[in-house]
Amino acid sequence: MAQAPRSTQPGPSLSHRFARLLATVATAALAVGLVAGGANILSSRAASVQIEHAASPVIVSRRQVRMETGFSIPHSFVGQVEAMQTTGVAFEFGGTVSAVLVDEGSKVKKGEVLARLDTRQLKNQRTTRLAARRALEAQVQLSQLTLERQQALQKKGFAATQVYDQVRLGLAELEARIAETDAAIAGIDIQLDKSILYAPFDGQVGDRSADDGSSVNGGQPIVTLLQRAVPQMRVGLAPSVANTLMPGQSVKVEVAGRSYAATLLKLRPDLDPATRTRTALFAITVDEGELALIYGQTGKVRLESHVSQEGAWVPVASLREGARGLWTILTLGQVNQSGEAIVEIEAVEVLYADEDRAFVRGTFQPGTGMIEAGPHRVTPGQIVQVLEKS
């Protein structure tokens, strides 16, 4: 059997094989070096990173919900300070003013003379009436003497009955004329007395509308007198609030930044057609030594109306807006031994609110612990650290 022929091409030399071996070893060494270097770099970076511990639970303050049977709504109504009495003091009949004895702002006492009329004509009339009365008295004396003579003659049968009757009735007429004159003199005396204008009460003069020598008509005010004893405030109240008040009830009024005690004097039975309010008058108590209130000043009456409705007061900061116009508060479940609790949510309805708190009713139970502030910091279902607050 014939043998296959051998190749005549020469094979790689020993030097070439050794070169390949060196290259392979170098590549493997480089790869090992790169892997070791990368591992060292990653190890150093990992060592430099600080390990963070798990975050502590958020701390919240808890306040127990205390149920109330109702709440009071404060009201403020604007009013005006005025005198208890304001009177335009006038003469009952006309004449010429002889003297006005007070000026605007003068303080007067009850019975003090404010002004006088010229009374010369009245005094002259009184003198005339007195003279007429004396003449009548003389005629009466003569008639009495004549009547006595006629009585004596009649007893003797020498006097006619008609003459006797004429003398008797003439005397009665004179006596009636004397009574009429006396009444006229008394009327003049009344006019003389009313020609002097007296202060009807203690007060202070406001307006002075007449001067010495001026002619005035009956009823025309000479001065306006304001009573200073007890100032009062006239206020228009909402009918719903006015219906809750009773005369004699104590309230607080504020005038020029100062607070005063006041008492309700009276309530008008009708409504003001312009403002649809009910007018109330309050007597203001001003202690001795305090500055007098100025009539015409604007003030405020502080009142409260009570609403009977079960609910609870919560801080406004504890509320957060819910769905469909409702509000919610965040409450806390059972607190464990570590002082931690789970955040829960309750729906509430706001019945009244002021700047700091709101009166609400809702799905919470009496005594429930609520998160009083910062509801945006936590979410329902979150575990929080509880800080008790009374």
Helix (H) or strand (E) holding 125: helix 120-156
Dihedral (CA of 286, 289, 291, 293) sign = positive
Note whether 317 and 294 are same-domain residues.
Answer: no
Note whether 133 and 180 are same-domain residues.
Answer: yes
Kindly indicate the confidence band of residue 205, based on its pLDDT and cuts at 50, 70 and 90. very high
Kindly indicate the confidence band of residue 358, based on its pLDDT and cuts at 50, 70 and 90. very high
Average pLDDT over residues 65-76: 90
Q: Mean pLDDT across the chain, nearest whole number?
A: 83
Terminal Cα-to-Cα distance of the chain (whole angstroms): 117
Q: By mean pLDDT, which of 4-8, 253-257, 348-352 is the weakest?
A: 4-8
Kindly indicate the confidence band of residue 43, based on its pLDDT and cuts at 50, 70 and 90. low
Q: By mean pLDDT, which of 75-79, 90-94, 297-301, 325-329 is the weakest?
A: 325-329
Rounded to an integer, what distance in angstroms lies between the CA atom of residue 188 and that of residue 371?
Answer: 87
Rounded to an integer, what distance in angstroms lies between the CA atom of residue 218 and that of residue 88?
Answer: 12
Dihedral (CA of 336, 342, 347, 352) sign = positive
In angstroms, the Cα distances linking 198 to 5, 227, 231, 234 are: 167, 14, 22, 28
Note whether 208 and 263 are same-domain residues.
Answer: no
Q: Are 150 and 212 in contact (CB under 8 A)?
A: no
Would you say residue 13 lies in a domain?
no
Would you say residue 324 lies in a domain?
yes
For the cut 60, the answer to whether the pLDDT of residue 1 exceeds it is no
Note whether 327 and 368 are same-domain residues.
Answer: yes
Kindly indicate the confidence band of residue 253, based on its pLDDT and cuts at 50, 70 and 90. very high
Number of domains the chain contains: 4
- Left, alpha or beta for 276 (phi > 0: left; psi -120 to 50: alpha)? left
Q: By mean pLDDT, which of 117-131, 247-261, 291-305 is the weakest?
A: 291-305
Average pLDDT over residues 47-76: 76
Question: Residue 271 belongs to what domain range?
Answer: 75-84+229-307
Q: What is the pLDDT of residues 275-306, one digit of tens each?
A: 899 999 999 988 765 657 888 899 999 988 88
Note whether 235 and 284 are same-domain residues.
Answer: yes
Note whether 94 and 220 are same-domain residues.
Answer: yes
Rounded to an integer, what distance in angstroms lies between the CA atom of residue 284 and that of residue 282?
Answer: 6
Decide which of 258, 290, 307 is a domain's last residue. 307
pLDDT at residue 50, as a whole number: 54
70: three-class secondary structure by DSSP:
strand
Neighbour count for residue 121 (Cβ, 10 Å): 12
Q: By mean pLDDT, which of 4-13, 17-26, 274-283 is the weakest?
A: 4-13
For the cut 70, the answer to whether the pLDDT of residue 248 exceeds it is yes
Nearest 5°: the CA angle 325, 331, 334 is 155
Would you say residue 98 lies in a domain?
yes
Kindly indicate the confidence band of residue 337, based on its pLDDT and cuts at 50, 70 and 90. confident
Rounded to an integer, what distance in angstroms lies between the CA atom of residue 379 and that of residue 390?
Answer: 23
The CATH number that applies at residue 214 is 2.40.50.100
pLDDT at residue 125, as a whole number: 92
Note whether 299 and 323 are same-domain residues.
Answer: no
Average pLDDT over residues 179-192: 92
For the cut 70, the answer to whether the pLDDT of residue 309 exceeds it is yes
% of the chain with per-residue pLDDT over 70: 83
